[in-house]
Chains A and B, each alone.
Chain A
Amino acid sequence: MVEQKAVDTYLPVLLLLIVGILFASLSFVASGLLAPRKKPTAAKLAPYECGIVPDREPPTRFPVRFYLVAMIFIIFDIEIVFMYPFAVVFRQLHTFGLVEVLTFSVTIFVALLFLVSNGALSWGPAKILTKGMPSRTSDSTIVRISAATSTEQAA
């Protein structure tokens, strides 16, 4: 029974949790003692951008797809959570269980179909960049090169 090995079951998890936390914090302490303790310059503390001084704040907004994925994930996560107990008792439920889970899966699948057909899960590259600009042909290349050379000559 579960009860008899409760200590055996969760005490190690707890202990390893503590060991993990201790390991991390002791590493920080050791690093604090061993590392040079000089005051870092402003350049060191600036956000790393390959040596360029950042001239704007980091972006504060991201494409809505990221939030959509997080929302959809909650839904799929809940659906999968229902599957775990099902899988454990499946052999006791027999055909009845199979029918149940097929019904359930059909609804999951319908949700997925809806998402896919709406393009909600499409992360395709933005093809718009080429919009308004003719695609590259040999003619366009000739125009481009002649434009570039004429710029050079003008300069």
Chain B
Amino acid sequence: MIAATIPDLAVFFVGAAIIVVGALGVILAKNPVHAALSLVMTLFGIAVLFIEEQANFLAAVQIIVYAGAIVVLFLFVIMFLGVDKAEDITTEPIVGQRPIAAIVVAALMASIVALGQLGHWMVGTHASTTATTGNDVADLGRSVFTTYLFAFEATAALLVIAVVGAVVLARRVSPDELSTDEPEVAQVPEDLGATMTAGEVEQ
């Protein structure tokens, strides 16, 4: 076991601070776009902690997948789907939601602290118990493609299901489901239709 040094602690605290500030931002920001950006900040902090743990690959993946893809989708929806600039947070969507949430969070925190106190968690060692080569990508690759092969291929199947789900969600409504208050078709007289070409309309 190698002792952590002062710079190590500094990195940890800076990373943790970024995470906490980002998390607070997600909750407290009135504007949903600001909240999503705070989420990016949290994810970045997590990447810093991964690097501190020498999980280089996970740090990169954290940024590529979470910040680079998932929050981008969040932002797409928030920015370009006309979500209100500031949500009214004074009304509770579900009555009694907030007290219940507070109780659940308190219970979870209490159980985590209790676990830390009562259980014998391995603290202060390298996280993985198997022999590592110092090359985290290769280690990860070997375990994913040998030991956890089934889980890996199952993930592929899961992703295909996700693709189908995405398409179904985004599919256009069928004509019968269309509401009748659609704007009327502009009546273009048969012969005069010729007076208007697509190009003209686009002008």
Contacts and interface: CB of A to CB of B under 8 A. Distances in A.
Interface of A: 1-3, 6, 10, 60-62, 64-68, 70-75, 77-79, 81-82, 84-86, 88-89, 92-93, 97, 100, 103-104, 107-108, 110-111, 114-115, 118, 120, 129-130, 132-134, 136, 139-141, 143-144, 147-148
A104 B64 contact: no
A88 B138 contact: yes
Contacts of A143: 191, 194-195
A97 B145 contact: yes
B66 to A, nearest CB: 10
A111 B65 contact: no
A68 B73 contact: no
Contacts of A68: 166-167, 170
Given A104-B153, A144-B195, A66 B76 contact: yes
A89 B136 CA distance: 11
Contact of B197 (A10, A84, A97, A136): A136
Interface residues of B, number: 56
A68 to B, nearest CB: 4
B198 A74 contact: no
A67 B144 contact: no
24 contacts: A6-B54, A60-B80, A61-B82, A62-B81, A65-B170, A71-B166, A72-B166, A73-B69, A74-B73, A77-B65, A82-B144, A86-B145, A89-B137, A89-B141, A93-B142, A100-B149, A107-B157, A107-B159, A108-B159, A111-B164, A114-B160, A120-B167, A120-B170, A133-B188
